């Protein structure tokens, strides 16, 4: 819950304080949804759920943003058990490092690649990303922890890819924001390749990496062509 007196930058306002909450569900309504699921889909696919209770074997890991508007399962039209998903602010992957700390993304990647044996890892950015916009504007830089500081520290890994964008396109506007979102996907792919397990498996052909960007505005998915750096509509 937001605390009184904390100033929220405009770059994140649409994410943190939606202009229109009408129709958004609260927890009691989520429980109602659970009961519908339990009486409907769970019963209809009981054999599938029984199979899933014994383990999972997805082929694909998806790294996506926590944004409530970009659910990978819905966008890719998959069922439970078909993709292994990690979601965080701006769909970022930090580089491999051995320093002590809580490495949530790294742990999930290690589990997916080394134990589940996924054969593809997808990094999916998206349009109107509040994290990327904040990285571009740097509105949260200098904020205390709990008042935007955690977000600022996390998206700080985008600082060096931000510089050429800010220099050529400025720090506001649709073009600059999309360039920042694209750069975040490319950075995360670069960082994935700093992990030894990824290096080994990609080098042997046992693992493939993909980058993509989902446009909330028109519902289109764009796939990164790493040879050209372009994001092209999914065929």
Domain count of the fold of the chain: 2
Question: Is 179 a member of any domain?
Answer: yes
Summarize pLDDT for 195-215 with one digit per residue, the tens. 999 999 999 999 999 999 999
Structure tokens at 98: 């051995």
Summarize pLDDT for 55-101 with one digit per residue, the tens. 999 999 999 999 999 999 999 999 999 999 999 999 999 999 999 88
CA gap 135, 23 in Å, rounded: 30
Residues 50 and 69 in one domain: no
pLDDT, average across residues 107-131: 98
Summarize pLDDT for 4-34 with one digit per residue, the tens. 444 555 445 545 555 556 678 999 999 999 9
Residues 68 and 82 in one domain: yes
User: What pTM does this model have?
Assistant: 0.90
Residues 32 and 143 in one domain: no
Domain finish residue from 55, 75, 103:
55
Residues 158 and 70 in one domain: yes
Q: Structural domain of residue 206, as residue ranges?
A: 56-233
Question: CATH number of the domain that 127 lies in?
Answer: 3.40.1050.10
Residues 50 and 91 in one domain: no
Residues 67 and 32 in one domain: no
Higher pLDDT, 20 or 179: 179
Residues 143 and 38 in one domain: no
């Amino acid at each position: 819950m937001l605390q009184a007196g904390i100033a929220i930058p405009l770059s994140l306002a649409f994410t943190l304080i939606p202009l229109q909450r009408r129709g958004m569900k609260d927890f009691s309504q989520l429980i109602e949804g659970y009961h519908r699921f339990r009486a409907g889909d769970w019963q209809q696919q009981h054999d599938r759920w029984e199979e899933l209770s014994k383990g999972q074997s997805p082929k694909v890991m998806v790294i996506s943003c926590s944004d409530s508007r970009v659910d990978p399962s819905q966008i890719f039209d998959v069922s439970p058990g078909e993709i292994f998903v990690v979601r965080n602010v701006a769909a970022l992957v930090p580089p491999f490092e051995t320093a002590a700390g809580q490495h949530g993304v790294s742990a999930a990647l290690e589990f997916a690649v080394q134990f589940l044996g996924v054969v593809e890892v997808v990094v999916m950015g998206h349009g109107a990303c509040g994290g990327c916009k904040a990285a571009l504007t740097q509105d949260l830089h200098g904020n205390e922890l709990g008042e935007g500081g955690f977000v600022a520290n996390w998206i700080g890994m985008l600082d060096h890819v931000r510089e050429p964008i800010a220099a050529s396109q400025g720090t506001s506007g649709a073009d600059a924001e999309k360039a920042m979102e694209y750069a975040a996907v490319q950075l995360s792919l670069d960082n994935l390749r700093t992990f030894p397990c990824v290096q080994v498996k990609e080098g042997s052909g046992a693992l493939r990496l993909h980058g993509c960007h989902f446009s909330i505005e028109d519902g289109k998915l764009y796939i990164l062509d790493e040879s050209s750096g372009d994001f092209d509509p999914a065929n």
